[in-house]
Amino acid sequence: MRMSRMFALGFVFGGVVVGAWGDLSDRLWAHTFTAASSQPASVWRAVNLPGRSAPNPLFSDAIQAGNTLYLAGRLGLDSDTGEVPDEPQQEARNVLDQIQSVLAQAGMAMDDLVNVQVFCSDVAFYDDFNVVYRTYFNTDEPPARAFLGAGTLLRGARFEVAGIAVKRPS
């Protein structure tokens, strides 16, 4: 007999209730609802960078639900070697370039980010990250941000960056 673990979660973002539920051993179902209605406001879709050899069975680069994009965590690995660069500022550039590429794939830009989470192996790299980070925004209203000391990151990375973007009206 197969045991399954069911789950449900939900949150409100920008007046929209987003919910997900599913069977952890099988599938995830997600829907977006407007706060005033129980009818789906939009469908969600995976957004992945071109050239990805195969979809990662564990996660997409991002999920777009309506005009909101939820970006998975990215590492700043060197695109040629797949290794962590020697310099922390180069790693920060790499990871922010990747975030920028995922946003562009969804028709968005860095200024559409409303929330950024930076996980860092050592908070001593805070200044190195910020020197690079501030060059990626053209607005006087940068996104809300958390910079968290996270200890050991995958592949020995210093930084992992995730975020949420909302397409600004034209």
pLDDT tens for 128-149 read: 999 999 999 987 889 999 999 9
Q: How many CB atoms lie within 10 A of CB 53?
A: 5
Residues 10 and 60 in one domain: no
Residue 21 pLDDT greater than 50, yes or no = no
Could you tell me the CATH number of the domain that includes residue 159?
Answer: 3.30.1330.40
Q: Are residues 58 and 134 in the same domain?
A: yes
Are 104 and 146 members of one domain?
A: yes
Q: For the segment 87-98, what is each residue's pLDDT rounded down to a tens digit?
A: 999 999 999 999
Domains of the chain: total: 2
Whether 17 has a pLDDT exceeding 80, the answer reads no
Bridge partners for 120 per DSSP: 149, 159
Residue 116 structural domain: 43-166
Closest CA to 47 of 84, 80, 74: 74
Q: Indicate yes or no: pTM above 0.85.
A: no
Same domain, 62 and 133: yes
